[in-house]
Amino acid sequence: MPFLSLARQVKVLRQELDEAVASVLEAGTFILGPRVEEFERRFADYCGVRHAVGVASGTDALELALRAAGVGPGDEVITAANTCIPTVAAIETAGATPVLADVDEETATIDPAALAGLVTERTRAVVPVHLYGQCADMDPILELAAERGLKVVEDAAQAHGAGYRGRPAGALGDAAAFSFYPTKNLGALGDAGAVVTNDSSVAERVRMLRAYGERSRYDSVAQGRNSRLDELQAAVLTAKLPHLDERNARRRELASLYTERLATTSLRLPAEAGGRRHAWHLYVVRSPRRDELRAELAAAGIGTAVHYFRAVHQHPAYAHLGTADLGRSERLAAEVLSLPLFPELTDDEAALVADTVARLAP
């Protein structure tokens, strides 16, 4: 049982993908054309915001959203310590200094109280990460941001279709960054990302920054870069977007199946926090003997993954960022285990995974 099979997904959607690719080949436009514009319109609608701007990756989306929101050198940006490296890499390429906050034990998302304790006069923005497909506790974060004059840029790379108190992920802060890396809930056939926002000036700035800072062709008014979305990926994403809700619903069914069958085990199970709609990007259990369990599952033919083996400051490159108390993030890194969860996984396969896990971690 693989942890994930993208080949199965391609098989299910093959005809629509073939048509999307063929339409681009026939049109003969490959970068920032009508298909990018169409996807941007549709994805903005999906997120319930006014603007979406396609870029080359989720990491770029975060960097450009931060820069467009006014973040730059000398600024501090607070994010969760248990995120993946791209989140902090994007803060750094925006020119700012990442500051790591510990997370809430239950949801593995940034702890608003820990966050509040880290705000200084240099803090310019907060990047809550909607980890595993569940939104961070946004209301206290937005309240603090309003009080202290901070920008809020959501890292929604794992949260396509997630929600918080009736509002969609991506529509919660000043701007949000999505990734369409192939393994995400909405994935391209390569790298792709988008910034979504209700703020027209942020959208306009991202549009310039993704193309050499050009306001119009060969008229550069900001120091930008090349981070464009291409027509092929946009056509693929437009073809896949209408399937996102039904695919997320299937993820939810599989998550419920796991939760039912694992309820009596020794594992700590993921839960949907009050008022939140989980997009079930990952189904992450916790075990104090995670590494042994993982090896036993591998021996039984069941693939798993770990998101993530280390909190950010436990990586050699980021040791200097480990200044606050980040004990909960460290404990998560030692205990989390992601079980196979993708829409094409059958009920029988999920039952086999659950029963094997239950047998090995009674």
Residue 38: how many other CB atoms lie within 10 Å: 15
Strand order across the 193-197 sheet: 51-55, 193-197, 175-179, 151-155, 123-127, 76-80, 97-101
If one asks whether residue 83 binds ligand PLP (CB under 6 A), the answer comes out as: yes
List the one residue out of 105, 158, 180 whose CA is nearest residue 279: 158
Shortest spacing between CB 89 and ligand PLP, in angstroms: 9
Q: In the set 69, 81, 86, 203, which binds ligand PLP (CB under 6 A)?
A: 86
The residue (of 257 and 307) whose beta carbon lies closer to ligand PLP is 307
If one asks whether residue 338 binds ligand PLP (CB under 6 A), the answer comes out as: no
| Interface with ligand PLP: number of residues (CB under 6 A) | 15
The residue (of 57 and 304) whose beta carbon lies closer to ligand PLP is 57
Shortest spacing between CB 144 and ligand PLP, in angstroms: 21
Q: Which stretch binds ligand PLP (CB under 6 A): 57-65, 70-78, 108-116, 323-331?
A: 57-65
> Which residue spans within the chain are E strands per DSSP?
51-55, 76-80, 97-101, 123-127, 151-155, 163-164, 167-168, 175-179, 193-197, 214-216, 219-220, 276-277, 283-286, 336-339
Distant-in-sequence, close-in-space partners of 328: CB < 8 Å, separation ≥ 6? 102, 103, 104, 105, 111
CB 186 within 8 A of CB 180: yes
List the one residue out of 19, 31, 13 whose CA is nearest residue 230: 31
Q: In the set 39, 43, 46, 181, which binds ligand PLP (CB under 6 A)?
A: 181
If one asks whether residue 59 binds ligand PLP (CB under 6 A), the answer comes out as: yes
Spatial distance between the Cα atoms of 54 and 40, rounded to a whole number of angstroms: 6
Q: In the set 20, 77, 84, 194, which binds ligand PLP (CB under 6 A)?
A: 84
If one asks whether residue 335 binds ligand PLP (CB under 6 A), the answer comes out as: no
List the one residue out of 92, 3, 21 whose CA is nearest residue 238: 21
Q: In the set 111, 137, 154, 155, which binds ligand PLP (CB under 6 A)?
A: 155
Question: Going by DSSP bridges, is the β-strand pair 123-127/76-80 parallel, antiparallel, or unpaired?
Answer: parallel
If one asks whether residue 79 binds ligand PLP (CB under 6 A), the answer comes out as: no
Contacts (CB under 6 A) with ligand PLP, residues 242-271: none
Three-state secondary-structure class, residue 60: helix
If one asks whether residue 98 binds ligand PLP (CB under 6 A), the answer comes out as: no
Contacts (CB under 6 A) with ligand PLP, residues 185-214: 191, 193
If one asks whether residue 230 binds ligand PLP (CB under 6 A), the answer comes out as: no
Distant-in-sequence, close-in-space partners of 95: CB < 8 Å, separation ≥ 6? 67, 71, 72, 73, 74, 75
The residue (of 20 and 136) whose beta carbon lies closer to ligand PLP is 136
Shortest spacing between CB 179 and ligand PLP, in angstroms: 3
CB 75 within 8 A of CB 126: no
The residue (of 295 and 317) whose beta carbon lies closer to ligand PLP is 317
Q: Which residue has its beta carbon closest to ligand PLP?
A: 58
If one asks whether residue 54 binds ligand PLP (CB under 6 A), the answer comes out as: no
Q: In the set 36, 103, 157, 189, which binds ligand PLP (CB under 6 A)?
A: 157
Shortest spacing between CB 99 and ligand PLP, in angstroms: 17
Residue 256: how many other CB atoms lie within 10 Å: 12
The residue (of 163 and 187) whose beta carbon lies closer to ligand PLP is 187
- Residue 205 exposed, middle or buried by CB count within 10 Å (0-12, 13-18, 19+): buried
**Residues contributing to the site for ligand PLP (CB under 6 A):** 57-59, 83-84, 86-87, 129, 155, 157-158, 179, 181, 191, 193
